[in-house]
Amino acid sequence: MESGEAADYLARVDSEQRDFYRIQYPQADRPRLTIGRFVSEVLNLSETGVRFVPADGLELAVGIAVVGELRFHDGQIAKVAGRVHSSQAEPRVAALQSTTGVPAAKI
């Protein structure tokens, strides 16, 4: 990925709410988050969180602990653990506040 393209994927979120960069992934390059037997599509990542579309059948309640694996487009795998920070039904999106960091090289 060229540096200009990478810059396009970085989105600075409102500094009053977050102090971390989030990388937005184009649909073809989105990492996958595996939680148990469920594989979900990642929308964006930061050093401390993962926003994803939960796989069909994966029920998540705010506050529950989650352990899983992120599989990146290049094949790299990273373990993640944290708590569900938010979950909504329409559109179906959830956010995990990570207690194990997402690799800085991937942000």
Per-residue pLDDT tens listing for the chain (107 residues): 443 443 343 333 333 455 667 888 888 999 999 999 999 999 999 888 899 999 999 989 999 999 999 999 999 999 999 999 988 887 889 998 887 767 777 66
pLDDT (0 to 100) of residue 6: 38
pLDDT (0 to 100) of residue 47: 83
pLDDT (0 to 100) of residue 88: 83
pLDDT (0 to 100) of residue 102: 72
pLDDT (0 to 100) of residue 13: 34
Q: Which residue has the tokens 């029920």?
A: 59
Question: What pTM was estimated for this model as a whole?
Answer: 0.76
Q: Which residue has the tokens 């990542």?
A: 45
pLDDT (0 to 100) of residue 2: 43
> Token digits for 76?
């790299």
**Environment class of 92 (CB within 10 Å of its CB; exposed 0-12, middle 13-18, buried 19+):** middle
Distance CA 6, CA 24 (A): 9
pLDDT (0 to 100) of residue 5: 43
Q: Which residues pair with 17 in a beta bridge?
A: none
Measured between alpha carbons, how far is residue 24 from residues 12, 16, 56 in Å?
A: 10, 19, 22
Distance CA 61, CA 97 (A): 13
> Token digits for 98?
């990570």
pLDDT (0 to 100) of residue 19: 62
DSSP letter, residue 61: -
